[in-house]
Structure 1
Amino acid sequence: MSDTLTPAEVRNPRAADEPGALERFRRAVTTNLAILPTIASLVIFVAMIVFGEISYGRIVQMGTISNLLINNAHLIVLAIGLTFVILTGGIDLSVGAIVAFSSVAGVMLAQAGWPPLLAIVAMIGIGSLFGLVSGILIQYFHVQPFIATLATMFLGRGLASLLSTQPERLPDESGVLWLATKWKIIDGPKVNDLVVTPGLLLAVAIVLLALFVLHRTRTGRTVYAIGGSEASAKLMGLPVARTKVLVYVISGTLAGIAAVIYTARLGTAQNITGIGWELDAIAAAVIGGTLLTGGFGYVLGSVVGALVLGLMTVLITRDGGIPPEMTTIITGGILLVFVLLQRVVTRARH
């Protein structure tokens, strides 16, 4: 073996010790094992797009992308709220019921002649109030998050049924429907246009705000610290109690906003709206790489997770031969895989 240095090593003696690109990538992945579920979700999303385009066609087009984003804007918002909660090691089972109660109450207020803005504020305020109740029960009465949010879930569902058991429709002239107005961004061939709605733009704004809060503020750092070790966070003097209540208020508030977006798109509200949505939001966050044990996760990962679930529905619909019930089964299978992957990652980190 020769000890002769290459010209690059002569110019830079440290070049012989510097790792190559593949080695640097391997070291980065090894150091940050917890990012693997997020990478896996992104790979699955891209693979689903490729599979759909090859099998059914018309997946990679502006119209399909627009519908995917618009139809899942409410799920993206819910997944962001669950991301905050799960990062602290908690859980929130009440968001689907909050959507039901908020939407029914908001539509009935609009029918009673309330100004659209006040009806929207009332819907969001209902969500915030539910989140505050859950947070207080968990932090100050030491109720387990599962039990506390299960109780508020039953409360919200019961109140929605108490208000109405029939579909309630927004008045045709209601300003709430403006949030579902389609704005054409790119005029494509035939109906293949790239369009957005104010509701989708609101969801994008929430994503950006959540990114800023989690990664650029003390509150965000405290959220991650609580999930890593609540005892250590207290020893560091971080506002643990206030932050734990805050994350449930955020989750409830975003559930109220999701109710506004969804109600504006459909124009109706029912007491059965949102059944199972809390599980979809949890699945989106977990598929996106948020660890159920808390302390690690990305907002953008949860967005990808929500889009994976939405795209799966699109592919099943395009196939036509797969029963709609398979959506739940496939979602459960994907979630199981990611939970097991999280377990492997957690053990490897320890």
Structure 2
Amino acid sequence: MSASHTLAPISAGPAPETRTARLSSLWERSQTLLPTLTALLLLFAMLIYAEVAYGRVFHSGTMSSLLVSFAPTMILAVGMTIVIVSGGIDLSVGAVVAVSSVAGVMAMNTGVNGWLSIVLMIAAGATFGLIAGVMIQVFAVQPFIATLAMMFLARGLASILSTTPVMAPENSPILLLATDWKIIDGPKVNDFTITPGLLIAVLVIVAAVFFLHRTRMGRTVYAIGGSEASARLMGLPVARTRVWIYIISGALAGLAGVVYTAEVGGKAQNVTGIGWELDAIAAVVIGGTLLTGGVGYVWGSIIGVFVLAALRLIITKDGTINPEYLTIITGAVLLVFVLLQRALTRRKQT
């Protein structure tokens, strides 16, 4: 009598279609990361060139100085990333920095509590963002036009408040944000120091990464940028999210005004922030965020900020290059990355 044996089915591994889909997904993801990786390679190349040509670049003092001085730009770039990922634009952030700075310092000089003044500076920026968001969502105004109007309004209000620099009181708490914290005690003046303002910028970056990738509203931001119609069909809160996007951008512009005012010793003036919105947009695009929306990374935008910082470092250390060329070089780099984005987008569509 023979016993019958049943053989367990042998797994043949994932189906070819599954492997193909995974490889296709990996390839598409690598394409979206290509501009960011290119920016990272460009950053390292520029820093290495500066070290070889001029020296004292990879020094604690130089690195900490760059980080501290570009903290406001990092904060602006975070807000601009959220806006551009949603398919919008915000041209008002530079002017909002100016008006929030001037208004906040003047409030301190009239006896308003220093900490309350700082909160009011951030709230002022959020108010400009709220107005822009309502114009865009409720009245269907194009983001370019709505934020351009806010830019002129904010810059005009800053000039009405004061056409001459105003100084914060000597005991103002805003000055504490520029306190040097020595992290590495280097030889001579080669110390690595940070400030509370830089720490605020780092916290904003971390919070923005969590917001965009770990919250429902953050995923809605990507969905709006990818396809607003699809986002609506999925039942996502498009209207509310779009208004919040501009409120966040405005609030971060006000916060950047706080950090910058502290960095320059409490001085505020109506001409602060001219062109900063363009720096923020350039950093975001160089970092790999698509101007059409739907794709972008906060960390990529921070790499873009460092690319701009490295450009400025090279021009400063060289000494023979006209500072006005910084704008031309930035424009050329931005053009290259826009063309790279365009090529990748066309390849993806085909």
TM over 0.5: yes
Task: Report the alpha carbon displacement of residue 26 of structure 1 after superposing the two structures with TM.
Answer: 11
> Are residue 316 (structure 1) and residue 333 (structure 2) matched?
no
Q: Distance in 2 between matches of 1:222 and 1:25?
A: 26
Q: Match of 2:300? A: 301
Q: Distance in 2 between matches of 1:38 and 1:25?
A: 20
> Residue 25 and residue 204 in structure 1: after superposition, are their counterparts in 2 closer, same or farther (change >3 A)?
farther
Q: Match of 1:329? A: 328
> Pick from 124, 136, 139: which aligns with 2:137?
139
Contact 1:79 1:302 survives alignment (8 Å): yes
Q: Give runs of aligned pairs for residues 282-301 of structure 1, distance below 5 A.
A: 282-301=281-300
Q: Match of 1:246? A: 244
> Pick from 118, 121, 135: which aligns with 1:120?
118
**Structure 1 moving runs of 4+ over 2 Å:** 24-32
> Pick from 65, 68, 71: which aligns with 2:69?
71
| SS class of match (1:296) | coil
Number of paired residues? 332
| SS class of match (1:291) | coil
> Pick from 213, 217, 220: which aligns with 2:218?
220
Q: Distance in 2 between matches of 1:182 and 1:55?
A: 29
> Pick from 262, 265, 268: which aligns with 1:264?
262
Q: Distance in 1 between matches of 2:45 and 2:27?
A: 21
Q: Match of 1:102? A: 100
Q: Distance in 2 between matches of 1:321 and 1:80?
A: 33
Q: Match of 1:49? A: 47
CA deviations on 1:48-78 (whole Å, 9 max, x unpaired) are 1100100000000111110010000000000
Contact 1:222 1:239 survives alignment (8 Å): yes
Task: Report the alpha carbon displacement of residue 233 of structure 1 after superposing the two structures with TM.
Answer: 0.3
Question: Which amino acid is 1:294 matched to?
Answer: G
Contact 1:29 1:35 survives alignment (8 Å): no
Task: Report the alpha carbon displacement of residue 112 of structure 1 after superposing the two structures with TM.
Answer: 1.2
Question: Which amino acid is 2:343 matched to?
Answer: V
> Are residue 34 (structure 1) and residue 32 (structure 2) matched?
yes
> Residue 217 and residue 30 in structure 1: after superposition, are their counterparts in 2 closer, same or farther (change >3 A)?
closer
CA deviations on 1:259-278 (whole Å, 9 max, x unpaired) are 00000010211101000000
Question: Which amino acid is 1:259 matched to?
Answer: G
Contact 1:169 1:268 survives alignment (8 Å): yes
Q: Match of 1:194? A: 192
> Pick from 154, 164, 167: which aligns with 1:166?
164
Q: Match of 1:85? A: 83
Identity of aligned residues (%): 60
| SS class of match (1:32) | helix
Contact 1:79 1:284 survives alignment (8 Å): yes
CA deviations on 1:118-173 (whole Å, 9 max, x unpaired) are 11001000000000000000000000000000000000000000000001111222
Contact 1:34 1:346 survives alignment (8 Å): no
| SS class of match (1:185) | strand
> Pick from 188, 197, 204: which aligns with 1:206?
204
Q: Match of 1:230? A: 228
Q: Distance in 2 between matches of 1:31 and 1:73?
A: 29
Q: Match of 1:278? A: 277
Structure 1: stretches of 5+ with no match in the other structure = 1-12, 19-23
Contact 1:29 1:36 survives alignment (8 Å): no
TM-score by length of 1: 0.92
Kindly report the root-mean-square deviation, in angstroms, between the aligned alpha carbons of the 2 structures: 1.8
Q: Match of 2:338? A: 339
Structure 2: stretches of 5+ with no match in the other structure = 1-10, 17-21
Task: Report the alpha carbon displacement of residue 242 of structure 1 after superposing the two structures with TM.
Answer: 0.6
Task: Report the alpha carbon displacement of residue 28 of structure 1 after superposing the two structures with TM.
Answer: 3.8
Q: Match of 2:348? A: 349
